[in-house]
A and B are shown apart, each in its own frame.
Chain A
């Protein structure tokens, strides 16, 4: 019988991806934190934090005061971590200018309205604050519809435009499509071959660091 649960709640994905549930594990989390020179004590928000693995990582390795927002009550229950609140990424339960950095890893393409989400990220960031965005990207914008993250992925150009229109300046972009391919291959190994990660040809994976506008160099 086909497993109707979303991919990120199936045990197969836990086995191959550990607790991070996304391509590359912590590699891109670390990469982003280093690229923005994250300092101990920074208030950092992870949107769509799942089991909170990124929170633990950013606390332990970078000394961040990390908070997470997760929509799935089941994930929050399972995570048993502090600093996690239930909420939606496009309606964040935090005041304006609260955070030095916002992380959104492999989640934005699941948003019903990514534009509203990006506006919210911008709102809760202080001026000059960083957005670390990693996600799937598609070769075109044809398939952007309902369904899995793979079905919903849009082109990188479209994502970049949305980020800029939400009031960010893009500082760094990296192509990490190999990490997506590796995850898809590992899912085949554990028998999750129905995975959406590979359902659509030509999918890629990227890391983007952007900064909230409205700050001045000193």
Chain B
């Protein structure tokens, strides 16, 4: 499965609060209902914590959820 790149996946000024590491883009599997998506998201290279930027959560992610629930 190819990795989906989204422009919203920008770590901005965020760092991992626990490890104080800079976040880096990493392919993350997002599962919703029966569907699985491999999306590049900012994550902590040390502990693996994944950041979902707010505009992604409220935007595309929300749209995808609606789309999958719709039918």
Contacts and interface: CB of A to CB of B under 8 A. Distances in A.
A185 B6 contact: no
Interface residues of B, number: 16
A95 to B, nearest CB: 40
Interface centre among B35, B60, B63, B71 (most CB of A within 10 A): B71
B4 A198 contact: no
A18 interface: yes
B29 to A, nearest CB: 13
Given A16-B2, A181-B35, A188 B71 contact: no
A149 to B, nearest CB: 17
Chain A, interface residues (CB within 8 Å), range = 10 to 19
B49 interface: no
A25 to B, nearest CB: 10
A202 B39 CA distance: 27
Nearest to A202: B71
B4 A182 contact: no
A19 to B, nearest CB: 11
A191 interface: yes
B34 A178 contact: yes
